[in-house]
Structure 1
């Protein structure tokens, strides 16, 4: 796949948002989508970016044929482990269906790994749906370990309502 991997730029926001929607559809959970393009743009390209993103830009000829400028993206954030120090959290790794099977997901993961090494990170962590065997196979082939098996971690989330409820309670 003849794509150029590069850091996302502010003008890429609409295209990244389109791929985020595609990912939500692929994962069969579009009803969880609350993010807007404006918020994505602000959070990724504002004064204090909350995430980093790498896009897989198609060559000019392929852009016009495909009707889109990107074949995929990886979105990740800095994180911290109280056991090992600096880490990266991979929020999304996505390759559009017509571009899958050519090693682009692997290339995007390697780009994120390079960012992690450059930043002095001890590891990358991520969540993957248990039915997404292509992604699980990719991650395993790159050396990922499943922490639900050993030591038995479970991924949890405090949704916005629970977050707001906790924030107003008096901790005394």
Structure 2
């Protein structure tokens, strides 16, 4: 098994994290939407998350982004990152972990389902919406 370390990110990791964010965006065919910049590669995967609250189930860990470089997949790195996130969620008394996966991304869907994930869009009929900044500004200015 390959050797790797799972650890919290530091400021010194910014270049590698941005590189991974760009690789994730490219993988998801959304490369042009990354506007962050940074100027350097010892990190091969990352998970970005935050805590939020659902009034029905309580505190949850929201997994915003999760990515392992393609050359490093299949070595258990993603499983270890997800295990680490599960430990964080339990330590912080979360009732669940939520995240989005693109419909076309079957490898990731299967990865999560093998670990007990439920697809809320097909099982519960939930739909994701967004309101872009231009409309937020417009609504905020309404009297």
In the superposition, the TM-score normalised over structure 1's length comes to 0.78
* Mapping 1:144-159, distance limit 5 Å: 144-159=117-132
Match of 2:28 in 1: 27
The SS at the match of 2:107 is helix
Gaps in structure 1 of 5+ consecutive residues:
38-66
Matched, 1:100 2:94: no
Query: What secondary structure does 1:144 align onto?
Result: coil
More strand by share: 1
Tell me the CA shift for residue 13 of structure 1: 0.8
How high is the TM-score relative to the length of structure 2? Answer: 0.93
Residue equivalent to 1:18: 19
Runs of 4+ with >6 A deviation? none
In the alignment, structure 1 residue 143 sits paired with structure 2 residue 116 = yes
CA apart distance, 1:150: 2.0
Aligned residue for 1:79, secondary structure, equals strand
Residue in 2 aligned with 1:122?
Answer: 95
Q: Deviations over 1:35-92 (max 9, x none)?
A: 344xxxxxxxxxxxxxxxxxxxxxxxxxxxxx82111011101111011110011011
Tell me the matched-pair count. Answer: 142
Aligned Cα root-mean-square deviation (Å): 1.6
Partner of 2:64: 91
Q: Distance in 2 between matches of 1:25 and 1:156?
A: 22
